[in-house]
Structure 1
Amino acid sequence: MISAAGYEASYRHENNGQSHFTTMPVIAWRDDGAALVADMKTGRLRDADGWANFAGLRKADVPIIGVIPGEGWRAEVKTDTGDTDSRPILAWTLDAEGTCTPLVADSDGYTEDATGGVNFIRVYQPGEMP
Structure 2
Amino acid sequence: MIPAHGWAARFNAQRGDGNPYRTTERVIAWDDDGQALVVDKAAGKLVLAAQIDGFTGIDVDDHLVSALPGGGWMGEFRGAGGTTHHEPVIGWTVLAPGLGGPLFCDDQGLFDPDPIPELIRVWHPRATGPLAPPAGSGPDADSPTPPEDGPKS
Secondary structure (helix, strand or coil) at the match of 1:102 reads strand
C-alpha displacement of 1:37: 4.5
Structure 1 residue runs of 4 or more that deviate by more than 3 Å after TM superposition: 1-4, 26-30, 33-38, 53-57, 59-63
Provide the TM-score with structure 2 as the length reference. Answer: 0.49
Is the Cα contact below 8 Å between 2:3 and 2:28 reproduced in 1? Answer: no
- Return the letter of the residue paired with 1:99: L
Query: Larger % of strand: which?
Result: 1
What are structure 1's unaligned runs of at least 5 residues?
A: 11-22, 39-47
Contact 2:92 2:101 (C-alpha < 8 Å) held by counterparts: yes
TM-score for the superposition, normalised by structure 1: 0.55
Cα 1:57–1:87 change in 2 (3 A) is: closer
Alignment RMSD, CA only? 4.0
Equivalent position of 2:7 in the other structure:
6
Conserved 8 A contact 1:7-1:25? yes
Q: Is the 8 A contact 1:67 1:94 kept in 2?
A: yes
Larger radius of gyration: 1
Aligned length: 106
Q: Percent same amino acid at aligned positions?
A: 21
SS in 2 for 1:81: helix
- The residue correspondences of 1:1-130 to structure 2 (distance < 5 A) are 4-8=5-9, 25-27=27-29, 34-35=34-35, 37=37, 54=51, 58-59=57-58, 62-113=62-113, 116-126=115-125, 127=127, 128-130=132-134
Cα deviation, 1:53-84, whole Å, max 9, x if unaligned, reads 84667236643221111112111111123211
